Structure 1
């Protein structure tokens, strides 16, 4: 379960995502480009310490990109080059924002969702201490076995490569399964070992990630 607070963020998420994309060669986004936030989905951190959120955005040319981020209350040692931004959250305080593909908590959540055939986290808006259901703007689903054992991941080492269709994929090496995150989503077939997603106006689902 993901709890969303009514909060002021400085800088805001759109600024963080746009600035980060402009610094990444794979994104083909330049400083000053307009990026549309299409939606987002979340995974649960069982420990309740790390926020795990993936933003789906549209470039000016219409190409869809996904930007997985983690939000932490303390710096993640050894991942300085994967720090996306620092922000002030009016409820939670100072937050360190990371490229989630380098964060073991994200890798664990992604692998579990895929291998066990789960959906993204249910979201709730905290309204003065009362939790109100908040529909996800991007719906994701893993194709796996609900009875599969929970994977255990404590390390995550990402490597980004261009793909023949002009997109990009991150391969995450872990101490568990190897994961592929399609930064530029592709058509999905709903095969086992995949995570697919859809949102209003999309049509067919797209492939977001998979077990390599």
Structure 2
């Protein structure tokens, strides 16, 4: 479960991505153009400390790009190269936003979604002491491979124009940065749909 806050963010998440995205090898779109949100999904950090959100966005009239992010209340040691930027959150204070592929919290959560169809976190707002559920903006479908979900050492692998590789234990996962409809590989995959995108797109897969 993800508990969200009705808060002001400076800069906003999308504003943060405007200067960051063009420097990625997988970027496509108009450099410096407005970044717009297409859909999003979240995973639950078991420790409840790190926000884990994946944004599907466009830069100008470019294709859909997949941007997994983590939000932390303090800098992540040794992860400067993965820092997207710093956000001032009117409720939580300063938050450090990272490319989730370089954050050790993310790969095990992605592995659970890809290999065991763990799904996305339910999102809630707290209003006047009561929790109100936020409808999901997209649908996720993972594979039920029967393989155990790894929990071993985590690392980030190569990045290219097609995507980013992360590893957890003996499992290697590819995050598709420009998701399009594609077959799910036999080793397992994660697909998504959203309003206006009825044909599932491949978001990530086991290699």
Same-fold call, TM > 0.5? Answer: yes
Q: Give the Cα separation in 1 of the matches to 2:27 and 2:177.
A: 8
Match of 1:83 in 2: 83
Could you say what secondary structure the match of 2:177 adopts?
strand
> Any residues of structure 2 matched to 1:90-109 within 5 Å, and which?
90-109=90-109
Moved more, 69-78 or 174-183: 174-183
The CA deviation at 1:35 is 2.5
Q: Matched residues in 2 for 1:26 and 1:41: separation? A: 20
In structure 1, the partner of 2:12 is 12
Runs of 4+ in structure 1 over 4 Å off: none
Moved more, 38-47 or 186-195: 186-195
2:182 to 184, 188, 202: 188
Residue 74 of structure 2: aligned partner: 74
Which deviates further from its counterpart, 21-30 or 125-134? 21-30
CA contact (8 A) 1:187 1:205 kept: yes
How far 1:149 sits from its partner (Å)? 3.3
Q: Distance in 1 between matches of 2:121 and 2:95?
A: 21
SS in structure 2 of the partner of residue 196 of structure 1: strand
Alignment of 1:1-212 (within 5 A): 1-145=1-145, 148-162=147-161, 168-190=162-184, 193-212=188-207
**What are the ranges of 5 or more consecutive residues in structure 2 without an aligned counterpart?**
none
SS at match of 2:94: strand
SS at match of 2:150: coil
- Identify which range, 106-115 or 53-62, moves more after superposition: 53-62
| CA shift for structure 1 position 127 | 1.4
CA distance in 1, matches of 2:164, 2:176: 6
Provide the residue aligned with 1:165 in structure 2: none
Which structure 1 segments of 5+ residues have no match? 163-167
- SS of the equivalent of 1:178 reads strand
Indicate the SS of the match to 2:15.
Answer: helix
CA contact (8 A) 1:113 1:142 kept: yes
Cα distance, 1:131–1:58 mapped onto 2, change above 3 Å: same
How big is the shift at 1:62?
A: 4.3
